[in-house]
Amino acid sequence: MGFNIWNRRYTGSKYKLSDWLIELITKNCKGEVFAEIFAGTAVLTSKLIPIMKKIYINDFLYSNEIIYEAFFGEGSYDKEKILAYKNKYEKLFSNSLEDNYVSKFFGGKYFSYNDAKKIGFIREDIEKNSSNLTKKEKNILIASLLYSIDKIANTVGHYDAYIKKNNLSDKFIFNCIEPCKFLNKKIYISRKDANELVKKLVCDIVYIDPPYNSRQYSRFYHLLENIACWKKPMLSGEALKPPVENMSEYCRVKAKVIFADLILKLKCKYIVVSYNNTYASKSKTSQNKIQLKDIKEILEKKGNVKIFEKKYKYFNTGKTDFIGHKEFIFIVKVGKTNGGK
């Protein structure tokens, strides 16, 4: 087994900032119950689990839920069985495989035609063998496929488009994730609208890293969502996307109102919000729907706010130049305002 949870390309990933974030949280917050409600890669959660007793991990993408269940979820799995599937998939010869859903739509675009045949076969094989797999084993195999796909996908790190090439080489290798093992930890995994989730959530520390701009993650990662769900919808457009669904209000004009509603509903001791200054970008899709001053004003109604900043090179599609980009961290001690009231 090989992949760690941070071994994938993901827009907005906090992997390179995770040590700084953990330092800020441990120095400025107290508590043993942590929630990451826009978890994305869940890198921060993975590094905080050892020092927390209870963890809540939430994201609205189906593929991310499967990945969390594979790495952190409860349930039994047979490592030897997983390795047997790995050996089986490593020995596949594309010439002996039939055309399938993945090769039909994505072959020669996001992957070579031969790699696409292997990917489609593996996903269908996992589904056909569901009755012989525990829930944990199935999640491990699907997550392993998603990580293996990410390693060779003909993209810049998301699936809003593929890089146009005449000849794609065969590069696909099926490798497995390495599930995390933690003793005496309670880990709750969900796939819910964050604003609905917080109505019932009670914890010590909540980390919030919402979508920053108009780029919808369900569209950015449509291919991984498609492979994870395996409903085989009809696809359209140059990027071969399925019908629109699972769209976030944080990427729309109501983002400020939705964010304020979220903060108002939170029941916790500390709020940690990560945001950046891409609102100044010349690209409309890269511009934040909420400005930093809006976040500060909203958070100040909840308690005392501290602001930290760090220069950081933001991931983008390659066309937008972010000059002087910074990551900002807001830490709120709930119940105390900046005026001491």
CA 315 – CA 263 distance, rounded (Å)? 27
CB 188 within 8 A of CB 34: no
Q: Tell me the average pLDDT across 24-42.
A: 96
Q: CATH assignment of 15-334?
A: 3.40.50.150
| pLDDT per position as a tens digit, 243-292 | 777 667 667 668 889 999 999 999 999 999 998 765 554 444 445 568 88
Tell me the three state secondary structure of residue 276. strand
Of 209, 198, 191, 221, give the one whose Cα is nearest residue 274: 209
Nearest to 286 by CA among 225, 220, 240: 220
Sign of the dihedral defined by the CA atoms of residues 144, 146, 148, 151, in that order: negative
Tens-digit pLDDT profile for residues 115-146? 999 999 999 999 999 999 999 999 999 999 99
Q: For the whole model, what pTM was predicted?
A: 0.91
- Lowest model confidence (mean pLDDT) among 182-186, 200-204, 271-275, 289-293: 289-293
How large is the average pLDDT for residues 65-90?
96
Query: Closest Cα partner for 130 from 145, 141, 116?
Result: 141
Q: What are phi and psi of 337, to 5 degrees?
A: -90, 165
State residue 324's pLDDT score: 63
Beta strands in the chain (DSSP E): 33-36, 54-58, 186-190, 205-208, 270-276, 303-311, 326-334
For the chain, what is the radius of gyration of the CA atoms? 21
